[in-house]
Chain A
Amino acid sequence: MDLTFSDSDLSFRKDVLAFLDNEYPADIKEKQDKRIPLEKEEIVKWQKILHSKGWFAINWPTEFSGYKELSVTEKYILQEELAKANTPTTIPFGMGMCAPVIYSFGTEDQKQKHLPSILNSDIWWCQGYSEPGSGSDLASLKTKAELVDNKYIVNGTKTWTTLAQHADWIFCLVRTETTPIKQEGISFLLIDMSTPGIEVKPIITIDGSHEVNMVYLDNVEVPKENLIGEEGQGWNIAKFLLAHERSGIAGIAALKRELKRLKDLSSEIPVGEGTLLEDPQFRSKIEETEIELTATEFTELRTLAAMSQGGSPGAESSILKIKGTELQQTISELFVEMLGYYAHPFYLENEIGSNETVGPDYAAPVMPHYLNYRKVSIYGGSNEIQRNVISKAILGL
């Protein structure tokens, strides 16, 4: 057991810091620091910068990324420094989700067609999983794909589709067969969003933002070669992907940054003759959160260490999903608490960062963030479902 970094790890950290100094664009940094939502183009710009350094698709096998392989520790250092500097979160749907499916299950043609454009952030993907009647019970999905003359005719409705308004392609779970065991009739299909018959309608969430959508598919024709793997293999692919989705879901480095920010800001808020950070009640909540965060960080490190020795992130990743999202919610809540009355003035996304907001200059995004983060214990398999997974797979109940 050893917690120290090697000399080469330390020099890698220096490389990352130098990279951030030189290549993190000032205009994006300014928006990020003010918590102003980025435009699609800005996210693309940043992802391309990371890619040119070989630090974008770091979890892909190097034969597909063309990158120099990073060790587990180097990946940890990179993610920590990127998060500490509050660089934009990369969009996971293409790079982190669809691509692993394609390089693990796809044909040579599919790999050649899709992986380079994902790597270059030229094509944006979204995820077509949930349906109005299929949330936690994803396998009950009804979107139907019928094979007619080498084409699938797809009909159905997908919902909670994040960033579908910007996406060029969608990867979908569809039903190709009605089988007694519902999981067995599901297939994994790639669909070009510009195909006739697809309509995207925004869903506005309680923070006033447009992040998620309904996607309606009405007799959408999809070439048969867009099927990944075999018909009926979709559920196994989805399970593979869920494990992928959950590793790193805890977002530890970002949480550490936000907790530090909470401490810094609350140390400047006067309460009577002291500061809010000196208030024993508020302080103890911060400390409790910090302890929980440290525990979660080391739970994640233990999981990563097991994976690097050939283990797979099984049901343990459910622990990280639950603990990570609970921490995200707790910290967003403490920010609201910190602000007191100035958490209440409410501005839409496009108003945040303008000079018309009131209160401290960091106040406007705080409440929308808190509200938006109610989603994290719901999405990616609700925390209730994650507890079921742990109960069944680890405790054997």
Chain B
Amino acid sequence: MDFTFNEEQTMIQDQVEQFIQKEYDWETRQELSNSDLGFGADNWKTFAELGWLGIAISEDNGGFGGSSIETMLIMEEFGKGLVVEPFLETIVMSSGLLDQHGSDEQKSEVIGSVISGEMHLALAYAEPQSRFNLSDVVTEAKADGENFIINGFKSVVMNGPSANKFIISARTSGKQLDNKGISLFLVDSDIAGLTRTDYKTVDGRRASDLNLENLSVPSESLIGSLDGGFNILDESIDRSILAISAEAVGAMEVLYKTTVEYTKTREQFGTPIGKFQVLQHRMVDMFMEYEQCKSLLYMATMKNEEGAPDAKKAISGLKYQVGKAGKFVGQQAVQLHGGMGVTDELNVGHYFKRLTTIGTIFGNADFHLKQYTSL
């Protein structure tokens, strides 16, 4: 058993940490989040130059060939900086999936451009009725000669506004809730029949709803096998859960530390409020929740990396814990900052908002407790 990182991993962690410290102060983050694009185009170039955008792509395909441990380290640092660049969406959720399951043409079309920072991707899996169930798919793709015709609707597609290509899950056979019969398609964002409604999300990021009306896509757009999209999607979401949980751990670390510092300096009744035992115990609980999440994060990441048979159960356990702990840490950080905690000006409320969306994305605590029980 070994919880240390190798030299390469430590190097990338340091690199991301440096970037956050030097290039990502709070004012900059807010400016980027409030800009039209919603993140820094220059930062994305920097990520490309530093090789981070190839982290989920194998060396054979020109990537970094990193394991989920490197992704975890990057995401944890991103969580500390509350980074709004769509690394999760383009790189973790989408590029790895194409690297492993895309056809040669798809890879040559996408991988190089993603690594160089010229192309953004988004994974469109959720539907208005699907909640967190990846196999609940109503959007339909019907074979029509050499083509497929796609009709349906995709909800809250993260990074939708910037995506050059979407990966869309659609039903090619079976019933609404069946695992089997779901296929994935790689589709240009400017294809006829696709209408996007873009919006901001509460965590300062961007998403879209997609209306799909008679999209005609060639059969070469299929990723993996016909009807076999569920497992590909499921694997990618599992990796994404590990990544977003790492982000949550980073955000929780900032919140508990910021709260501790604040209560040392904020004086009421002639004494720093951190001297009150009821607040001390609250902060101890925040700290412990953070540590517990980190432990499950390491455990689940390693199990997934080793392909352990119970990796999936570990991932659901992690997401349950992250949902529960993220809510507690976020709410208490706000509470202990008093009125300041609910202001837009202070960063605390924004970390709380991101932890709130992370609690929902890829399934909330209830959903993953149920998954955990069933596995």
| Contact surface of A with B, Cβ cutoff 8 Å | 130, 133-137, 140, 159-160, 203-206, 208, 212, 269-273, 276, 279, 281-282, 336-337, 340-347, 356, 358-359, 367, 370-372, 374-375, 377-379, 382, 384, 387
Contact = CB atoms under 8 A, between A and B. Distances in A.
B177 interface: yes
B331 A374 contact: yes
B343 A384 contact: no
B279 A384 contact: yes
B75 to A, nearest CB: 19
Interface string B116-156: 00000000001011011100100000000000000000011
Interface in B240-292: 267-270, 273, 276, 278-279
A346 B199 contact: yes
SS class, residues of chain B in contact with chain A = mixed
A3 to B, nearest CB: 35
A123 B183 CA distance: 64
A135 B200 contact: no
Nearest to A385: B268
Given A205-B349, A374-B331, 16 more contacts: A130-B339, A206-B344, A212-B339, A281-B366, A336-B356, A341-B156, A342-B155, A342-B156, A344-B201, A344-B203, A345-B201, A346-B199, A358-B209, A374-B334, A378-B338, A384-B276
B369 interface: yes
B106 interface: no
B364 A337 contact: yes
Contact of A282 (B156, B207, B366): B366
A221 B203 CA distance: 44
A204 B349 CA distance: 12
Contacts, number: 128
Given A271-B131, A359-B128, A384-B278, A346 B335 contact: no
A272 B178 CA distance: 10
A346 B133 CA distance: 23
Nearest to B348: A206
Nearest to A203: B343
Nearest to A383: B335
B197 interface: yes
6 contacts: A137-B269, A206-B342, A206-B353, A271-B133, A340-B364, A378-B335
A271 B364 CA distance: 14
Contacts of B338: 135-136, 378, 382
Interface in B177-223: 177, 197, 199-203, 207, 209
A374 B350 CA distance: 13
A272 B133 contact: yes
Interface string B28-63: 000000000000000000000000000000000000
Contacts of B342: 205-206, 371-372, 374-375, 378
B335 A345 contact: no
Contacts of A282: 366
Given A344-B207, A377-B335, A204 B155 contact: no
Contacts of B202: 343-346, 367, 371
A363 to B, nearest CB: 11
A358 B128 CA distance: 10
A300 B66 CA distance: 60
B57 to A, nearest CB: 27
B341 A378 contact: yes
Nearest to A333: B327
B357 interface: yes
B177 A344 contact: no
